[in-house]
Amino acid sequence: MNEDRSLYPEHDENGKPIIDLESHKFLKLWQGPQHPGITGNMSLELTVSGDEIVESKTHVGYLHRGFEKLLERRLFVQCMPTSIRLCVAEPDPNEYIVSTAVEELGGIEIPDNAKWLRMLSLEMARLQVLLRGVPGQAGTFALGLGYQWGNYLRDLILDSFEELTGGRVYHMYIIPGGVRGNLPEGFKGRMLEKLKLIDEFVVKIDKLIFQNVVFESRAKGLGHIPKEWVDKYGVYGPAARASGVMRDVRKTNPYLNYDQLDFEPHVTTEGDVYARSVVRYNDLQMTVDMIRQILDKMPDGGDIRAQTPNVLHWKIPKGETYVKCESSRGEYGMYFVTDGSDKPRRAHLKGPSYTHANALLDKLLINANIADTAAIMVSLATCPPEIER
C-alpha cells in the first residue's frame, strides 16, 4: 500500500471518497451472502481499487424472520422457543435475558440453585462458541486445523448440553422462574474430564496459532480499533477489551452469582485482529476456569424453580426494563415492555453485532486488502440473526 492512503481515492468536501465506476479504476465486489469467509447470511458490498477496499457497505435482510414482532403475539412462556433463535451459535443468553425480563417485571425471585445452574449453562454456551471461534480466526488466514480440533471439543460440550437439557444446539433450559432441571448424576465428573482435554487443546492452540509466523504477520496491525472508537461506534466485549477498554457485564454489572467467582477478563491495548484473538484465547481459558469454580461452588441440589402464576394465564403489569448479560461477543440485552396483558408489548434485542457489523465494520474495511475482509469480520464475531431479529 502507498504510505499516505488519504490521497487516493480523492474525497469530496464532505470527506466522502469520490468513486466513479465508469472510470474503470474501481470495481464492485460482493462478499456474501454465500461465502466461506462470511459469518452468516449477510453480505458486504465492497468497492475495490486493485486489491484494496476503498468503500464497504454491509447488507443484511437475508435472514429476517420478524422475531420481535412474533414475540408481541405470544404468551410469555411461548416467547422462549422463538427468542432462542435470535442467535443460533449461542442461544443461551437469549433464554437468560427474556426469562429475567419476565421475572423482573412479573416480580419473581429465582432460587439460588437455579442461579448457579443458569451460570453453568451460560458459561458452557460461551465455551462451545470460543472452542470454534478462537481457532476459527486462524481459519480466515487458511489455517484450518485448529478449527477442526476445536469442533471436536465443542461436540463434547454439546454432549453435555444434551445430557443437561435434552438439546444440543437449542436448549430451552433457562425458563421464567428458574431452570428446567437439576444436574444429572455424575455430570460434574464427566464435565471435569472434558475440561482437562480442553486444557491440552489450549496449549496446542497457542503453539499452532499464536506462535505461527503467518498468523502473527497477517493479524498484527490489521483492523485496528482505536480506544476512542469504543464508545463512539458501540464496541463491546472482547473487541473493546482488545482496545484497552474494560467491557464485561459480568464484571461491571454482576448478575446471577458472578460476583462470587474469581475472574479477571483480559485487557490489552493494541486493538488489532491479533489482540482480539489473544483476548478471546484468554476468555477461553477463563471460561474453563469459571466452569470449574461454578461446579465447585454450586450447591448439591435444591430448588430449581420459583412459584410462577399459571403460564397460560400469566398477565404482567405495565412496565419496561432492560436486562443484559455478557455473551461471547459482548453485551447482549433485551428491552422488554409489558402492558398488563399476557403478551409483551415490545421486545427489542440489542446485540453487539448490530454496531460491530454496520458502522464499525464499514469503517474498518477501508484501505484493507480484499483477502483480509474475512479476518476483520470474524475478529468482531458478527452474528447476522441478532442484527435482523
Partner 1 sequence: MQKGINNLIEKFGASDLVERRSGLSFITVDQTKAVAAITHLKDIDGYTVLSFITAADWIEDGKMQLTYMLNNPAEVAEIAIRVMLERKKEAGESMETIHHLWPNAKKWQQELKEMYGVDFPTSPGVNDSFILEGWDDMPPNRRDFDTKQYAEDTFFPRGGRVTHDPATYMREQLDPKDPQYYTKKKKKDINS
Residues binding partner 1 (CB under 8 A): 60-61, 64, 66, 68-70, 72-73, 104, 231-234, 245, 247, 252-253, 319-322, 331, 333, 335, 337, 345-346, 348, 350, 354-355, 358-360, 388
What is the smallest separation between the CB atom of 14 and partner 1, expressed in angstroms?
10
Sheet of 52-59: strand order equals 27-31, 43-49, 52-59
Residue number, 102 or 195, with CB nearest to partner 1 = 102
What is the smallest separation between the CB atom of 358 and partner 1, expressed in angstroms?
5
What is the smallest separation between the CB atom of 364 and partner 1, expressed in angstroms?
13
Provide the 3-class DSSP secondary structure of residue 249.
helix
Residue number, 222 or 387, with CB nearest to partner 1 = 387
Residue number, 136 or 330, with CB nearest to partner 1 = 330
Q: d(Cα 134, Cα 150) in Å, to the nearest integer?
A: 8
Residue number, 70 or 158, with CB nearest to partner 1 = 70
Q: What is the DSSP string of 75-122?
A: -TTTHHHHHGGG-SS--HHHHHHHHHHHHHHHT----HHHHHHHHHHH
C-alpha dist (Å) from residue 8 to 45, 48, 373: 19, 12, 20
Q: d(Cα 179, Cα 173) in Å, to the nearest integer?
A: 6
What is the smallest separation between the CB atom of 245 and partner 1, expressed in angstroms?
8
Task: State residue 101 phi and psi, 5-degree precision.
Answer: -65, -45
Residue number, 135 or 351, with CB nearest to partner 1 = 351
Task: Name the grid cell of 26.
Answer: 474501481
**Look-up: residue for cell 476456569?**
289
Beta-carbon contacts of 323 under 8 Å, excluding residues fewer than 6 positions away, are 97, 100, 101, 104, 333, 334, 336
What is the smallest separation between the CB atom of 347 and partner 1, expressed in angstroms?
10
Reference 28, options 5, 61, 56, 58; nearest CA is: 56
What is the smallest separation between the CB atom of 180 and partner 1, expressed in angstroms?
26
What is the smallest separation between the CB atom of 315 and partner 1, expressed in angstroms?
16
- Residue 326's beta-bridge partner residues? 331
Task: Provide the CA 239 distance to its chain's centre, in angstroms.
Answer: 11
Q: d(Cα 61, Cα 55) in Å, to the nearest integer?
A: 20
Residue number, 5 or 232, with CB nearest to partner 1 = 232
DSSP 15: S
Residue number, 164 or 326, with CB nearest to partner 1 = 326
Residue number, 139 or 234, with CB nearest to partner 1 = 234
What is the smallest separation between the CB atom of 321 and partner 1, expressed in angstroms?
5
Task: Name the grid cell of 299.
Answer: 450447591
What is the smallest separation between the CB atom of 357 and partner 1, expressed in angstroms?
10
Residue number, 358 or 373, with CB nearest to partner 1 = 358
Residue number, 59 or 220, with CB nearest to partner 1 = 59
Task: State residue 348 phi and psi, 5-degree precision.
Answer: -120, 120
**Which stretches does DSSP call E strand in 154-222?**
174-175, 178-179
Reference 374, options 89, 138, 151, 216; nearest CA is: 138
What is the smallest separation between the CB atom of 3 and partner 1, expressed in angstroms?
27
